[in-house]
Amino acid sequence: MRQVDIQENLLKNLYIDQKLTTYQIAEKLGFCQGTIWKRLQEYDIKTRPPSTPVGYTKEQLRKWYFGQKLSTWEIEKRFGHPRGTVYRKLKEFGLGARNIAVSHIRFPRKNFSGDFLEKAYLIGFRIGDLNISKCGPQSETVAVKCATTKQGQLILFKTLFSKYGHIIEGRPTKEGKINIQASLNPSFCFLFDKTPSSYKWVFKDKNTFFAFLAGFSDAEGSFFVSQNKGVFSIGNYNKPLLIKIREFLKRFSVETAKLGVYYKIQRKAYDGYLSKGDYYILSCHKKTSLLKLINLLKPHIKHPDKVKKMLEVKQNIVERNLKFGNINM
Protein backbone atom coordinates (compact mmCIF):
# COMPACT_ATOMS: atom_id res chain seq x y z
CA MET A 1 0.00 0.00 0.00
CA ARG A 2 1.31 3.46 -0.91
CA GLN A 3 2.54 5.50 2.06
CA VAL A 4 1.07 9.00 2.11
CA ASP A 5 3.90 11.51 2.25
CA ILE A 6 2.98 14.38 4.59
CA GLN A 7 5.99 15.99 6.22
CA GLU A 8 5.86 16.29 10.00
CA ASN A 9 7.02 19.92 10.02
CA LEU A 10 4.32 20.89 7.53
CA LEU A 11 1.64 19.14 9.55
CA LYS A 12 2.79 20.77 12.81
CA ASN A 13 2.76 24.19 11.17
CA LEU A 14 -0.77 23.77 9.84
CA TYR A 15 -2.27 22.14 12.92
CA ILE A 16 -0.38 23.79 15.80
CA ASP A 17 0.83 27.14 14.48
CA GLN A 18 -2.02 27.99 12.09
CA LYS A 19 -4.60 26.12 14.21
CA LEU A 20 -6.35 24.64 11.18
CA THR A 21 -8.76 21.75 11.70
CA THR A 22 -8.09 18.29 10.29
CA TYR A 23 -10.82 18.97 7.72
CA GLN A 24 -9.20 22.22 6.61
CA ILE A 25 -5.77 20.56 6.38
CA ALA A 26 -7.21 17.65 4.39
CA GLU A 27 -8.85 20.03 1.94
CA LYS A 28 -5.68 22.14 1.66
CA LEU A 29 -3.38 19.15 1.01
CA GLY A 30 -5.78 17.04 -1.01
CA PHE A 31 -6.13 14.12 1.43
CA CYS A 32 -9.04 12.72 3.39
CA GLN A 33 -9.60 13.84 6.98
CA GLY A 34 -8.94 10.34 8.31
CA THR A 35 -5.44 10.37 6.81
CA ILE A 36 -4.60 13.69 8.50
CA TRP A 37 -5.83 12.39 11.86
CA LYS A 38 -3.77 9.21 11.45
CA ARG A 39 -0.60 11.17 10.65
CA LEU A 40 -1.10 13.34 13.74
CA GLN A 41 -1.05 10.20 15.83
CA GLU A 42 1.95 8.72 13.98
CA TYR A 43 3.99 11.91 14.52
CA ASP A 44 2.79 12.04 18.15
CA ILE A 45 1.40 15.53 17.63
CA LYS A 46 -0.87 16.35 20.55
CA THR A 47 -4.42 16.87 19.33
CA ARG A 48 -6.65 19.64 20.60
CA PRO A 49 -9.21 18.48 23.19
CA PRO A 50 -12.97 19.01 22.77
CA SER A 51 -12.81 21.64 25.50
CA THR A 52 -10.96 24.04 23.21
CA PRO A 53 -12.43 27.49 23.95
CA VAL A 54 -15.46 28.21 21.83
CA GLY A 55 -15.13 31.35 19.72
CA TYR A 56 -18.78 31.92 18.87
CA THR A 57 -21.86 33.31 20.55
CA LYS A 58 -25.30 31.83 21.09
CA GLU A 59 -26.70 33.94 18.25
CA GLN A 60 -23.95 32.84 15.86
CA LEU A 61 -24.67 29.19 16.65
CA ARG A 62 -28.40 29.79 16.24
CA LYS A 63 -27.73 31.36 12.84
CA TRP A 64 -25.51 28.50 11.63
CA TYR A 65 -27.51 25.60 12.98
CA PHE A 66 -31.11 26.79 12.65
CA GLY A 67 -30.92 29.70 10.21
CA GLN A 68 -28.49 28.31 7.64
CA LYS A 69 -29.41 24.68 8.50
CA LEU A 70 -25.73 23.66 8.74
CA SER A 71 -25.05 20.28 10.31
CA THR A 72 -22.55 19.93 13.16
CA TRP A 73 -20.17 18.31 10.65
CA GLU A 74 -20.51 21.33 8.35
CA ILE A 75 -19.93 23.75 11.24
CA GLU A 76 -16.76 21.87 12.18
CA LYS A 77 -15.52 21.79 8.60
CA ARG A 78 -16.37 25.39 7.81
CA PHE A 79 -15.50 27.16 11.08
CA GLY A 80 -13.17 24.71 12.84
CA HIS A 81 -15.30 24.09 15.94
CA PRO A 82 -15.38 20.39 16.93
CA ARG A 83 -18.84 18.89 16.42
CA GLY A 84 -18.82 17.42 19.93
CA THR A 85 -18.33 20.90 21.31
CA VAL A 86 -21.10 22.22 19.06
CA TYR A 87 -23.53 19.66 20.49
CA ARG A 88 -22.47 20.56 24.02
CA LYS A 89 -22.92 24.29 23.40
CA LEU A 90 -26.36 23.72 21.86
CA LYS A 91 -27.41 22.23 25.20
CA GLU A 92 -25.63 24.87 27.29
CA PHE A 93 -27.24 27.67 25.28
CA GLY A 94 -30.65 25.99 25.62
CA LEU A 95 -31.06 25.76 21.84
CA GLY A 96 -31.64 22.01 21.56
CA ALA A 97 -31.01 19.96 18.45
CA ARG A 98 -33.06 19.75 15.27
CA ASN A 99 -35.25 16.70 14.84
CA ILE A 100 -34.51 14.32 11.98
CA ALA A 101 -37.18 15.80 9.72
CA VAL A 102 -35.82 19.34 10.05
CA SER A 103 -32.22 18.16 9.70
CA HIS A 104 -32.97 16.77 6.24
CA ILE A 105 -34.30 20.09 4.91
CA ARG A 106 -31.71 21.30 2.42
CA PHE A 107 -33.23 24.49 1.02
CA PRO A 108 -34.52 27.61 2.81
CA ARG A 109 -38.26 28.02 3.28
CA LYS A 110 -40.48 30.91 4.25
CA ASN A 111 -43.73 30.97 6.19
CA PHE A 112 -46.97 31.66 4.36
CA SER A 113 -47.68 35.39 4.19
CA GLY A 114 -50.96 35.12 6.10
CA ASP A 115 -52.76 37.27 3.51
CA PHE A 116 -56.43 36.24 3.38
CA LEU A 117 -56.89 36.95 -0.31
CA GLU A 118 -53.81 34.90 -1.18
CA LYS A 119 -55.04 32.11 1.09
CA ALA A 120 -58.49 32.13 -0.52
CA TYR A 121 -56.92 31.99 -3.99
CA LEU A 122 -54.62 29.08 -3.05
CA ILE A 123 -57.51 27.10 -1.56
CA GLY A 124 -59.50 27.54 -4.76
CA PHE A 125 -56.51 26.57 -6.89
CA ARG A 126 -55.80 23.58 -4.63
CA ILE A 127 -59.38 22.24 -4.93
CA GLY A 128 -59.09 22.40 -8.68
CA ASP A 129 -55.58 21.32 -9.56
CA LEU A 130 -53.16 20.48 -6.73
CA ASN A 131 -52.13 17.35 -4.88
CA ILE A 132 -50.95 17.91 -1.29
CA SER A 133 -49.03 15.35 0.76
CA LYS A 134 -46.47 14.81 3.53
CA CYS A 135 -43.54 12.39 3.32
CA GLY A 136 -44.43 10.89 6.71
CA PRO A 137 -46.17 11.61 10.03
CA GLN A 138 -43.07 13.38 11.42
CA SER A 139 -42.26 15.23 8.20
CA GLU A 140 -41.84 19.01 8.26
CA THR A 141 -42.47 19.24 4.52
CA VAL A 142 -45.77 20.05 2.81
CA ALA A 143 -45.34 18.72 -0.75
CA VAL A 144 -47.49 20.59 -3.28
CA LYS A 145 -47.65 18.79 -6.63
CA CYS A 146 -49.11 19.38 -10.05
CA ALA A 147 -48.85 17.72 -13.48
CA THR A 148 -49.57 19.62 -16.69
CA THR A 149 -48.80 19.93 -20.37
CA LYS A 150 -49.31 23.71 -20.32
CA GLN A 151 -46.39 26.11 -19.93
CA GLY A 152 -48.74 28.71 -18.52
CA GLN A 153 -49.61 26.37 -15.66
CA LEU A 154 -45.92 25.81 -14.90
CA ILE A 155 -45.31 29.56 -14.86
CA LEU A 156 -48.27 30.07 -12.51
CA PHE A 157 -47.11 27.28 -10.16
CA LYS A 158 -43.63 28.79 -9.90
CA THR A 159 -45.05 32.28 -9.37
CA LEU A 160 -47.24 31.05 -6.52
CA PHE A 161 -44.72 28.90 -4.63
CA SER A 162 -41.09 29.67 -5.56
CA LYS A 163 -40.97 32.52 -3.01
CA TYR A 164 -41.87 30.06 -0.26
CA GLY A 165 -39.83 26.95 -1.00
CA HIS A 166 -37.76 24.85 -3.37
CA ILE A 167 -39.26 23.90 -6.74
CA ILE A 168 -38.52 20.61 -8.53
CA GLU A 169 -39.56 20.34 -12.18
CA GLY A 170 -39.46 16.99 -13.94
CA ARG A 171 -38.81 16.14 -17.56
CA PRO A 172 -41.72 15.85 -20.01
CA THR A 173 -43.28 12.41 -20.37
CA LYS A 174 -44.03 10.86 -23.77
CA GLU A 175 -47.38 12.63 -23.60
CA GLY A 176 -45.67 15.95 -22.88
CA LYS A 177 -46.85 16.10 -19.26
CA ILE A 178 -44.51 17.72 -16.74
CA ASN A 179 -44.62 17.02 -13.00
CA ILE A 180 -43.69 19.89 -10.72
CA GLN A 181 -43.43 20.04 -6.93
CA ALA A 182 -42.91 22.70 -4.27
CA SER A 183 -41.52 21.76 -0.85
CA LEU A 184 -43.10 24.09 1.71
CA ASN A 185 -43.06 24.41 5.49
CA PRO A 186 -45.98 23.52 7.83
CA SER A 187 -47.49 27.02 7.57
CA PHE A 188 -49.14 25.65 4.39
CA CYS A 189 -50.96 22.84 6.22
CA PHE A 190 -54.23 24.69 5.54
CA LEU A 191 -54.06 23.21 2.02
CA PHE A 192 -54.61 19.66 3.27
CA ASP A 193 -58.28 19.98 4.17
CA LYS A 194 -60.70 19.96 1.20
CA THR A 195 -63.90 19.64 3.22
CA PRO A 196 -66.47 22.44 2.65
CA SER A 197 -66.30 23.46 6.32
CA SER A 198 -62.59 24.31 5.95
CA TYR A 199 -63.21 27.03 3.38
CA LYS A 200 -66.73 28.24 4.17
CA TRP A 201 -65.15 31.50 5.40
CA VAL A 202 -64.36 32.54 1.81
CA PHE A 203 -68.11 32.94 1.15
CA LYS A 204 -68.52 35.52 3.92
CA ASP A 205 -66.80 38.33 2.04
CA LYS A 206 -66.93 39.58 -1.55
CA ASN A 207 -63.14 39.91 -1.94
CA THR A 208 -62.26 36.51 -0.48
CA PHE A 209 -64.98 34.86 -2.57
CA PHE A 210 -63.70 36.25 -5.87
CA ALA A 211 -60.10 35.50 -4.90
CA PHE A 212 -61.22 31.91 -4.19
CA LEU A 213 -63.16 31.74 -7.47
CA ALA A 214 -60.15 33.11 -9.36
CA GLY A 215 -57.93 30.35 -7.95
CA PHE A 216 -60.58 27.75 -8.76
CA SER A 217 -60.96 29.21 -12.26
CA ASP A 218 -57.21 29.29 -12.90
CA ALA A 219 -57.29 25.54 -12.24
CA GLU A 220 -60.61 24.41 -13.71
CA GLY A 221 -62.16 27.34 -15.57
CA SER A 222 -61.83 28.71 -19.07
CA PHE A 223 -62.67 31.82 -21.07
CA PHE A 224 -63.29 31.33 -24.78
CA VAL A 225 -65.20 32.62 -27.79
CA SER A 226 -67.65 30.22 -29.41
CA GLN A 227 -69.77 31.13 -32.44
CA ASN A 228 -68.59 34.71 -32.00
CA LYS A 229 -69.87 34.85 -28.43
CA GLY A 230 -67.74 35.08 -25.29
CA VAL A 231 -68.19 32.37 -22.69
CA PHE A 232 -66.88 31.54 -19.23
CA SER A 233 -67.21 27.99 -17.94
CA ILE A 234 -65.90 26.03 -15.01
CA GLY A 235 -66.20 22.29 -14.44
CA ASN A 236 -65.80 19.99 -11.46
CA TYR A 237 -67.13 16.80 -9.88
CA ASN A 238 -68.17 18.79 -6.81
CA LYS A 239 -71.78 19.68 -7.64
CA PRO A 240 -72.60 21.28 -4.23
CA LEU A 241 -69.62 23.64 -4.59
CA LEU A 242 -70.68 24.72 -8.08
CA ILE A 243 -74.23 25.29 -6.84
CA LYS A 244 -72.94 27.44 -3.99
CA ILE A 245 -70.78 29.47 -6.38
CA ARG A 246 -73.76 29.95 -8.69
CA GLU A 247 -75.94 31.18 -5.79
CA PHE A 248 -73.25 33.56 -4.56
CA LEU A 249 -72.77 35.03 -8.04
CA LYS A 250 -76.46 35.97 -8.11
CA ARG A 251 -75.79 38.42 -5.27
CA PHE A 252 -73.68 40.43 -7.70
CA SER A 253 -76.16 40.18 -10.59
CA VAL A 254 -74.05 37.59 -12.39
CA GLU A 255 -76.48 35.19 -14.04
CA THR A 256 -75.27 31.73 -14.98
CA ALA A 257 -76.91 28.84 -16.79
CA LYS A 258 -78.20 25.84 -14.85
CA LEU A 259 -75.60 23.22 -14.10
CA GLY A 260 -75.14 20.74 -16.88
CA VAL A 261 -73.57 17.27 -16.82
CA TYR A 262 -70.61 17.30 -19.18
CA TYR A 263 -70.05 13.56 -18.84
CA LYS A 264 -71.32 10.75 -16.63
CA ILE A 265 -69.60 8.59 -14.06
CA GLN A 266 -67.31 5.85 -15.42
CA ARG A 267 -66.92 7.66 -18.74
CA LYS A 268 -63.60 6.70 -20.32
CA ALA A 269 -61.45 9.75 -20.98
CA TYR A 270 -58.92 10.19 -23.80
CA ASP A 271 -56.09 9.12 -21.47
CA GLY A 272 -57.82 5.87 -20.58
CA TYR A 273 -58.99 6.86 -17.10
CA LEU A 274 -62.61 6.39 -16.02
CA SER A 275 -64.37 9.40 -14.54
CA LYS A 276 -64.89 9.10 -10.77
CA GLY A 277 -68.32 10.69 -10.91
CA ASP A 278 -70.62 12.93 -12.91
CA TYR A 279 -68.70 15.97 -14.14
CA TYR A 280 -70.67 19.24 -13.99
CA ILE A 281 -70.26 22.51 -15.89
CA LEU A 282 -71.21 26.00 -14.69
CA SER A 283 -71.23 28.59 -17.49
CA CYS A 284 -71.86 32.27 -18.06
CA HIS A 285 -72.46 33.70 -21.54
CA LYS A 286 -74.93 36.59 -21.19
CA LYS A 287 -73.09 39.82 -22.06
CA THR A 288 -74.03 41.88 -19.00
CA SER A 289 -73.31 39.07 -16.56
CA LEU A 290 -70.12 38.00 -18.28
CA LEU A 291 -68.75 41.52 -18.23
CA LYS A 292 -69.53 41.91 -14.52
CA LEU A 293 -67.87 38.57 -13.81
CA ILE A 294 -64.75 39.57 -15.73
CA ASN A 295 -64.46 42.86 -13.84
CA LEU A 296 -64.87 41.08 -10.49
CA LEU A 297 -62.34 38.34 -11.30
CA LYS A 298 -59.77 40.51 -13.08
CA PRO A 299 -57.92 41.70 -9.90
CA HIS A 300 -57.40 38.10 -8.79
CA ILE A 301 -56.82 35.97 -11.91
CA LYS A 302 -53.13 35.01 -12.19
CA HIS A 303 -52.84 32.31 -14.86
CA PRO A 304 -51.17 34.01 -17.87
CA ASP A 305 -53.23 32.05 -20.41
CA LYS A 306 -56.50 32.72 -18.58
CA VAL A 307 -55.72 36.44 -18.35
CA LYS A 308 -55.14 36.56 -22.10
CA LYS A 309 -58.34 34.66 -22.91
CA MET A 310 -60.35 36.75 -20.43
CA LEU A 311 -59.27 39.94 -22.22
CA GLU A 312 -60.19 38.38 -25.58
CA VAL A 313 -63.67 37.62 -24.26
CA LYS A 314 -64.01 41.18 -22.99
CA GLN A 315 -62.96 42.51 -26.38
CA ASN A 316 -65.60 40.27 -27.96
CA ILE A 317 -68.24 41.90 -25.76
CA VAL A 318 -67.03 45.37 -26.77
CA GLU A 319 -67.25 44.47 -30.46
CA ARG A 320 -70.70 42.96 -30.06
CA ASN A 321 -71.87 46.07 -28.20
CA LEU A 322 -70.66 48.30 -31.04
CA LYS A 323 -72.55 46.17 -33.51
CA PHE A 324 -75.74 45.39 -31.58
CA GLY A 325 -76.00 48.05 -28.90
CA ASN A 326 -74.02 49.25 -25.88
CA ILE A 327 -74.17 48.21 -22.25
CA ASN A 328 -72.36 49.91 -19.39
CA MET A 329 -68.66 49.04 -19.47
Give the Cα separation of 246 and 252 in Å (integer). 11
Question: Would you place residue 1 in the very low, low, confident or very high pLDDT band (cuts 50, 70, 90)?
Answer: very low
Whether residues 156 and 54 share a domain: the answer is no
What is residue 60's predicted lDDT score, i.e. its pLDDT? 83
Is 109 a member of any domain?
Answer: no
What is residue 137's predicted lDDT score, i.e. its pLDDT? 64
In the listed set 103, 132, 157, which residue is the last one of a domain according to the structure? Answer: 103
Which of 72 and 11 is assigned the larger pLDDT?
A: 11
Question: Would you place residue 286 in the very low, low, confident or very high pLDDT band (cuts 50, 70, 90)?
Answer: very high
- Model pTM above 0.85: no
Whether residues 315 and 215 share a domain: the answer is yes
* Mean of all residue pLDDT scores within the chain: 84
Instruction: State what percent of residues in the chain have pLDDT above 70.
Output: 84
Give me the CATH number covering residue 230: 3.10.28.10
Whether residues 69 and 128 share a domain: the answer is no
Question: Would you place residue 77 in the very low, low, confident or very high pLDDT band (cuts 50, 70, 90)?
Answer: confident
Enclosing H/E stretch for 39: helix 33-42
Whether residues 184 and 200 share a domain: the answer is no
Give the Cα separation of 54 and 322 in Å (integer). 79
pLDDT of 303 over the 60 cut: yes
Is 1 a member of any domain?
Answer: no
Whether residues 207 and 308 share a domain: the answer is yes
What is residue 2's predicted lDDT score, i.e. its pLDDT? 43
Residue 41, φ and ψ in degrees, nearest 5:
-70, -40
Beta-sheet strands, E only, within 202-242: 221-226, 229-236
Which of 95 and 304 is assigned the larger pLDDT?
A: 304
Domain of 25, in residue numbers? 8-103
Is 2 a member of any domain?
Answer: no
Whether residues 186 and 278 share a domain: the answer is no
- Give the CA dihedral 53, 56, 58, 64, nearest 10 degrees: -130
Whether residues 90 and 181 share a domain: the answer is no
Whether residues 262 and 276 share a domain: the answer is yes
In the listed set 146, 161, 191, which residue is the last one of a domain according to the structure? Answer: 191
Whether residues 21 and 84 share a domain: the answer is yes
What is residue 106's predicted lDDT score, i.e. its pLDDT? 60
Is 58 a member of any domain?
Answer: yes
Which of 208 and 73 is assigned the larger pLDDT?
A: 208
Is 79 a member of any domain?
Answer: yes
Question: Would you place residue 98 in the very low, low, confident or very high pLDDT band (cuts 50, 70, 90)?
Answer: low
Whether residues 139 and 252 share a domain: the answer is no
Of the candidate ranges 48-62, 106-120, 242-256, the one whose mean pLDDT is the lowest: 48-62
What is residue 217's predicted lDDT score, i.e. its pLDDT? 96
Is 300 a member of any domain?
Answer: yes
In this predicted model, what pLDDT tens digit does every residue of 191-247 receive, in sequence order? 999 899 999 999 999 999 999 999 999 999 999 999 989 999 999 889 999 999 999
Contacts of 153 (CB under 8 A, 6+ apart): 129, 146, 303, 305
In this predicted model, what pLDDT tens digit does every residue of 105-136 receive, in sequence order? 567 788 999 999 999 999 999 998 899 988 66
Greatest mean pLDDT among 45-49, 67-71, 81-85 lies in 45-49
| Alpha-carbon distances of 286 from 34, 133, 231, 269, 313, rounded to whole Å | 77, 40, 8, 30, 12
Whether residues 212 and 301 share a domain: the answer is yes
Whether residues 142 and 208 share a domain: the answer is no
What is residue 136's predicted lDDT score, i.e. its pLDDT? 64
What is residue 52's predicted lDDT score, i.e. its pLDDT? 46
Is 90 a member of any domain?
Answer: yes
Give me the CATH number covering residue 184: 3.10.28
Q: What total number of domains does the chain contain?
A: 3
